[in-house]
Amino acid sequence: MFTAGNTMKKNNSAMTVDADKRVTFDIERIRGDFPILHTMVRGKPLVYLDNAATTQKPLHVIDADQRYYHSQNANIHRGVHYLSEVATFEYEKARGKVKNFINAADNHEIIFVRGTTEAINLVAHGYGRKFLSEGDEVIISAMEHHSNIVPWQMVCEEKKAVLRVIPMNDDGELIIEEFEKMLSPKTKFVSVVMVSNSLGTINPVKEIIRSAHAQNVPVLVDGAQAVSHLKVDVRDLDCDFFAFSGHKLFAPTGVGALYGKAEILDRMDPYQCGGDMIESVTFEKTTFNALPYKFEAGTGNIAGVIGLGVAIDYIRRVGMDEIETYEHELLVYGTGLLSAIDGVRLIGTAKEKAGVLSFVLETVHPHDIGTILDMEGIAIRTGHHCTQPVMKRFGIPATARASLSLYNTKDELDALARGIGKVKEVFHS
């Protein structure tokens, strides 16, 4: 029987259950895991609301990095010595954690990369360059990050293929009927973002995948902004590829993962060539290693991969469902606060949204908003967020963007609203 404020021990989750059995987040305990959140910035307590750019790291991840370099450092898959075996074991263990986290069928469907950008480039190169030809069509959406536009643009240019774009409405929702109309025998690939980084829209990727598969078209999902906010199950989605970055998931920078269905990865060419991705090399001919090593040329970010595994352990302990519920509550609260400020216009008002509050303020440039908020210790991002076509669609040069994570609080959103009040005072707007 749980009573008020009891910590739930089940699943080791950082949740409490209050008297009426409503599950609530043990936010203080979570914040205690992130040392940087307790620092002062410009004489004020840090309010970190730039989580879509990168998340902060819990002690567990910081400690794992130290532990690795302190007592486990060696190259992997290469040595017969003890340390190499330890490092290889830890690295491969992390692959299993990623596999379980996104519910892939097998460890060899997980390829470690530098991040989402490299993952998409790998697919554009390894799949697009091999299988696209003149007149073929690749479909992306109007709210893609540049990382899911430029690689496809380049491969289409090279192959004389056509890049088509699913439009969106004024709330920042994809117009799915238009996508359905675009699908044709010419369509050879679809690549879409699951959660928009500049609008927060959660796209109906499962529906998109179902329609594309009905025409035998493979689909890549850019999961950069999804994995730390929503439960992802690649087999339930049935996506052919799924890309994400570790650093947006409380892990170190310079590491991420590409999931790909084995049968499709097997048919693709390697992206980069060098050590570890070969089976045999002579001056006449090279044969390639099996999955996933065929796509992991050279020495990767071993410490980063191990840190990614630890970050996944961390968020699984907190609980993905609990994170989703808590962040949604924050989003609703923040949306209410910002909407009530005279002159604030929210950009991205989709019905299905994750924790992104992108906004503009009449007569004040977003960079000025960001600078004044910074003086209050509040970190947000301003600019086009590497989604210039989104800015063009809304007829604005930039937005100010507050992006949420599991450690943010309503108090911090209050601070943001007060900060915007100061901006208005300074600019008499």
Distance CA 413, CA 429 (A): 21
Q: Cβ closer to ligand C6P: 31 or 146?
A: 146
Q: Does 245 bind ligand C6P (CB under 6 A)?
A: yes
Binding piece for ligand C6P, criterion CB under 6 A, among 58-66, 114-122, 183-191, 208-216: 114-122
**Amino acid identity, residue 125?**
H
Q: Does 386 bind ligand C6P (CB under 6 A)?
A: yes
Q: Does 115 bind ligand C6P (CB under 6 A)?
A: yes
38's enclosing H/E stretch is none
Write each residue from 123 to 152 as x if it is in contact with ligand C6P (CB under 6 A), else as -, in one continuous string. Answer: ----------------------x-x-----
Query: Which residues lie below 8 Å from residue 395, measured CB to CB, with a gap of 6+?
Result: none
Distance CA 280, CA 28 (A): 54
CA 118 to chain centre: 13
Q: Could you tell me the smallest distance in angstroms from the CB atom of residue 193 to ligand C6P?
A: 5
Distance CA 137, CA 157 (A): 11
Q: Could you tell me the smallest distance in angstroms from the CB atom of residue 88 to ligand C6P?
A: 25
Say how many residues touch ligand C6P, by CB under 6 A: 16
Q: Does 379 bind ligand C6P (CB under 6 A)?
A: no
Residue from 13, 72, 117, 358 binding ligand C6P (CB under 6 A): 117
Q: Could you tell me the smallest distance in angstroms from the CB atom of residue 54 to ligand C6P?
A: 8
Beta strands in 51-113 (DSSP E): 110-113
Q: Could you tell me the smallest distance in angstroms from the CB atom of residue 231 to ligand C6P?
A: 18
Q: Does 201 bind ligand C6P (CB under 6 A)?
A: no
Across 84-96, b (16+ Cβ under 10 Å) vs e yields bebbbebbeebbe
144's enclosing H/E stretch is none
Distance CA 423, CA 421 (A): 5
Distance CA 335, CA 349 (A): 9
Residue from 16, 55, 116, 335 binding ligand C6P (CB under 6 A): 116
Binding piece for ligand C6P, criterion CB under 6 A, among 205-213, 217-225, 307-315, 368-376: 217-225
Q: Cβ closer to ligand C6P: 94 or 140?
A: 140
Give the side-chain half-sphere CA count within 13 A for 203: 32
Q: Cβ closer to ligand C6P: 53 or 320?
A: 53
Q: Does 224 bind ligand C6P (CB under 6 A)?
A: yes
Q: Cβ closer to ligand C6P: 99 or 145?
A: 145
Distance CA 372, CA 375 (A): 5
**Amino acid identity, residue 147?**
S
CB 354, CB 329: distance < 8 Å: no
Distance CA 351, CA 242 (A): 24
> What does DSSP assign to residue 311?
H
Q: Cβ closer to ligand C6P: 52 or 87?
A: 52
Q: Does 291 bind ligand C6P (CB under 6 A)?
A: no
Q: Could you tell me the smallest distance in angstroms from the CB atom of residue 177 to ligand C6P?
A: 24
Q: Cβ closer to ligand C6P: 72 or 147?
A: 147
Binding piece for ligand C6P, criterion CB under 6 A, among 61-69, 112-120, 167-175, 179-187: 112-120
Q: Does 399 bind ligand C6P (CB under 6 A)?
A: no
Distance CA 256, CA 111 (A): 8
**Amino acid identity, residue 415?**
A
Pairing of strands 15-17, 23-25: antiparallel
Q: Name 259's bridge partners.
A: 110, 242
Pairing of strands 399-403, 137-141: unpaired
Residue ranges in 11-70 that form contacts with ligand C6P under rule CB under 6 A: 52-53
Q: Could you tell me the smallest distance in angstroms from the CB atom of residue 114 to ligand C6P?
A: 7
Q: Cβ closer to ligand C6P: 222 or 322?
A: 222
Report the catalytic residues.
Answer: 386
Phi first, then psi, for residue 265 (nearest 5°) are: -60, -40
Binding piece for ligand C6P, criterion CB under 6 A, among 18-26, 182-190, 292-300, 380-388: 380-388
Closest CA to 128 of 293, 234, 264, 274: 264
Q: Does 229 bind ligand C6P (CB under 6 A)?
A: no
Q: Does 193 bind ligand C6P (CB under 6 A)?
A: yes
Q: Could you tell me the smallest distance in angstroms from the CB atom of residue 224 to ligand C6P?
A: 4
Q: What radius of gyration do the chain's Cα atoms show?
A: 22
Q: Could you tell me the smallest distance in angstroms from the CB atom of residue 274 to ligand C6P?
A: 21
> Interface with ligand C6P by CB under 6 A: which residues?
52-53, 115-117, 145, 147, 193, 197, 222, 224-225, 245, 381, 385-386
